[in-house]
Structure 1
Amino acid sequence: MQRRQIIVVGGGLAGTATALGFASAGFDTLLAAPKAPDDARSSAILGRCLAFIAELGVVDALGDRKAPLAVMRIVDDLQRLFRAPTVEFRASEVGLSAFGINALNGDLAKALEACIERTGNLEVRPLAARDLALSDDRAVVTLEDGTEIGADLVVAADGRHSAMREAAGIGSRQWRYPQTAIVLNVEHKRDHGSVSTEFHTRTGPFTQVPLPGRRSSLVWVEDPKLAELYVDLKPEKLETTIAEKMHWILGDVSIDGPISRFPLGGSRVNQMTSTRLALVGEAGHAFPPIGAQGLNLGLRDAEALVRLATESRDDPGSRLMLRRYEAARRGDVLSRTAGVDMLNRSLLMDFLPGQIARSGTLAAMGLVGPLRQFAMREGLVPGAGFVGLPRSVKKWIGGDEAGREGVEQERYGRH
């Protein structure tokens, strides 16, 4: 039987970054994943997550195929009795040049692949895993070609319907929202100025996120029946509708590339670990594309798992390491999942006290600087609201090029 220290199952962005992280930390790693389909969506990567992939070389590999996110704006477009003022979160308020970057998922995947090609101890097999056996001394993954491979640790990063999670007997709760997300990219007449705008509407958020040049990605959450009608509109009519929904802040727009739509739902697991197994990304949590939290939560899983396994290098799949990972991720996963769920549901309900509470919270954010800055730091790095942003974030996002060699020591605790 073949053997590796680490097997990562799942070739999405979070899974590939996890495998690259383990290999870069010196582990003999196997990434088992069929080639992922083309993905025209984009992802915003913020705070410590950007520092994590930057240390792996992914940001340099992206080159100019990314756009900085310097300002995040929330606009109340609910047209209800109590309307919250527009709130702008500026990275400069917390000493950063940007909160992070936005890039097309396809470009992120290519950048990850380029980094993998330069990594010596990472093998990629374009095969799905079909079975998993777990015991105290090892895990055994069976690939679809029948090959069995033993490992100290298996990382399940194979999506919200994770076969590895089910094989380990970890239960999950799935739910649906009465919403559909329309996802597309657009070109526009006016410069976005590195500003992302999230319009809160009665059917859900309508979010514009900068791409390089005069281009932006859009995530448009809509009633399913209306979403179907919008997608079938003639391009000229749809472009006018999009510009109107953005209140013409970017001028005329034109559709750039394919349009896709998918139903919105969420999931949550009973536990993030089992014997010799850890869950990463949507295998452990999933929720609507609101507030740029989805991939970032998965990358925080990856960063924590690699860091803790490095601190337990003699046995990276030990019970102690897995207990530490479970404890490290529980609060972040629960709070972000609940927060996104609550925000999304608050947009759909007409309950007056809920409207007042939501409007009051946004108004407070806009008026009270320390509260707004707390929210920004906490959004970038869980726990940083009170203690400040860590050194790694300031080095990679704050524009300070000096002293980057100290970042690696901070991340892995080496002195």
Structure 2
Amino acid sequence: MNIAIVGTGYVGLVSGTCFAELGANVTCVDVNAQKIENLKQGKIPIYEPNLDSMVLRNIKAGRLRFTTDLSSILDSVEVVFSAVGTPPDEDGSADLRYVFEVAKTIGQHMNNYLVVVTKSTVPVGTAEKVKTVIQAELNKRSVQIGFDVASNPEFLKEGSAIDDFMKPDRVVVGVESERAKDLMTRLYKPMLLNNFRVIFMDIPSAEMTKYAANSMLATRISFMNDIANLCELVGADVNMVRKGIGTDSRIGSKFLYSGCGYGGSCFPKDVKALIKTADQNGYDMRVLNAVEAVNESQKNILFEKFKLYFNGDVKNKKVAIWGLAFKPETDDMREAPALVLIDSLLKAGCQVCAYDPVAMNECKRRIGDVISYGKNMYDTVIDANAIFHVTEWKEFRMPSWGVIRKAMKENPVLIDGRNVFSVSELEGIDYLKIG
């Protein structure tokens, strides 16, 4: 089966490569010529475990190709996925200009029946607008060519995206014709031979499903952070509370971890976009407004604990930050709690040394050399007054606390933003956690 994926960002590149791994002939399209040239050589622009080797393998097999010219391949494909960016606009709504540019190009150059599939996270009603754009271009050409639009939202987690794609909990597809349904069934059948977990539904429901899923997960995180903050006031332990409620089959244990706030490319953007969609339809998403407010507040909690510990005297304190990415197994720092923490520390006159296994180049790109960067986790703690544990990378789990204590200044403190450690394992280091 021949398909095209427009957009070689996180979603487009992972999806295109995985479809090629399953045997489809995939052409990935992007307007960035340098990125395309790099991809042709197997140089990928993102960090995702095992993706680079999979890209190279499928390039060599001839199943994965890259181009900047969408119009040149439309006659040879049956399905076009639109996986371009939908960044938040100033008012929180999704910016759909790139989605519509793809639709316009398709309408201007298509000559055969196509299924045009929106893979990007887009507000309800976007597929209908895409359909209108394509039809308008066909009308300008005075041609009658059949096509269908569909919605196929992604549910990839950064750091485990390949497994998520190859072994999905479910695949959601919104269609409005049997022909489109048959094509999408053919496309997904190879990965789901033993358990066909494709859920077909109407297009608006598919578009809403992605926002609803991410908003529910964000809600669980903010709820547990609210509970954690109350636990501190009443003397309860949020880790015990989490275990107590997580065993309830109606609740479950996933996404019940308290911490220093969620970040990344999905949760913040999607919560804002769903709130905006509701606002445009005259409805107030009261729960999600609270979810967003709790999260923004939670990103300041590490600095507040630090300031309270030192009774407000934090100027010229040297601090170590372990972890910069918004989560482990990625270099993504979009909306990362570490950025909020660094900003607060620098404004307070602190010296900051940070280490992250993969995200330091991304951090340098974003903020430059306003902080220093360690060669490893131990390098950051030399003469430090405090350690902030911000991203729960596996290599941070079993440090040599004796070595760390000797390297730090007197009366040091570890502020654990992910509740990974326990006071019993530390040696002469005070310990603060969330909740």
Of Structure 1 and Structure 2, the greater helix share is in 2
TM-score by length of 2: 0.30
Higher relative CO (CA 8 A, sep ≥ 6), structure 1 or 2? 1
The structure whose Rg is larger is 2
TM-score by length of 1: 0.31
Compare the two structures and name the one with the higher strand fraction.
Answer: 1
